[in-house]
Structure 1
């Protein structure tokens, strides 16, 4: 909804963020589907693709007639995508892709995959190129990852690329090096800044209602000081997170948002949302671990949100580099 043209709505970034918040109030897995569709797969084609690629895929994806996924993370390379082992080699005018991607949202249901591979042209990730891969291409498969205890409402898959032959037109022409995939991740992280707060809000509203209706020692649980202290602190952190998200949305709409500012928002809002979910669970006691209430489901989901699209530790290092000028990744 935040992209322009090709059947996209062209809304403000802040409006998109608020939509992510409402989606994640239902379930983080639903917001994940939307983030991957719009901010990863579609944004990659919209930002870095050829006009032919945009015309072929974006209108269908905007209408929901085609689903996309984004293949960057590998079994052994998450925080360090520059070390990826997936390779793309030339064969005449074609490219042949070989490798594996892991933890890919929408993978098993996608019609198109944006896959990033090392061409070997340069070191340190500078030879990374993006490829638009129709999922019915021979050699492409996406087995689903099962037995998850988090993001169960979201399809998560491995991508297997077994000598996948692609024409030269499959390359994203404007993306070279890690700048391409990292720009897409920055878009998706922005949605998370808002989205995580939706899960936190749902937990807090549930806990407040429960505390008002649950009697203990002959009065409502909400009437005890320790309960009110928890509710007050959570209300404070949720409000601060909303103000931070709104400010980042204002900066993004003005074209002034920096990647390290997105890291600030993602680190704070997911971390605080997870703490809100855990604290709300204590207010519900044993009832909090059941699916009769949404709190444990949100908490489990937020455990994944905490580490995907940049772990808390990586975002701390991004912020640390911004304030010190020193990179401490190695």
Structure 2
């Protein structure tokens, strides 16, 4: 192992268990890696950018993640720089002009490339991805995304996810300097039947959020940075993103009901942080997903908030980080 790699492992940029992973993935290796604690099952898919593509639990044994296209899933999504009209270069007319928008899942019609993909242990999955620019059919972004997906200690219904992006843009490229842009922390898409939205107020109390068909998505400001979506069976999925600092996006897509993860209809939830990502920025944050009925989710969120309400995102410079 070379000295640069040793240094990266030492400062935590590359986990030790992934340092020896093959750069070129074995095409016969599993496409879906799962971890299961007996109550919750979660998985990442190497054919879909190593995004989270599977979530289920005891009372909800089927997958609830919408995986209709590369823009869905549960994934990293960031925005930076100026909005550009690049239709002459093949940019989608539906997404023009558009800012620098690396997507973990892929572009409008292509999936992202995964370069590291493994089960670290029985409770942790790791993926490393070269994202695509969302507005382009098949253009890789000058960036690397890493994701660690684990079970939260002490609560059997909760997943904790650590996300990191390293931007490798040229300082003088067309998107230009850092601008204050909304970052999806993270972008979540679930099956269309989870269309009842509530913000958590603490102590077992909830606020029902109004819904309308999107996009454009509805806006809400959950006071404790936690929002859940429920189905008619009373089962729900809550996102707790303590580093979010802006209005959340949420809502159902298409006036139809479906529990099919491959279907076009879906629902969307995205905590938002407004952050200045520059050409050489690094950005890292954590969020939590907890599942179950309203009472179970409330109990899990109360524990998480007691433990993680002071969580901070880390914004830095990639060049300085590796010196």
Instruction: Give me the TM-score of the superposition, normalised by structure 1.
Output: 0.25
Question: Which protein shows a greater Rg?
Answer: 1
Instruction: Give me the TM-score of the superposition, normalised by structure 2.
Output: 0.25
Structure scoring higher RCO (CA < 8 A, sep ≥ 6) equals 1
Larger strand share, 1 or 2: 2
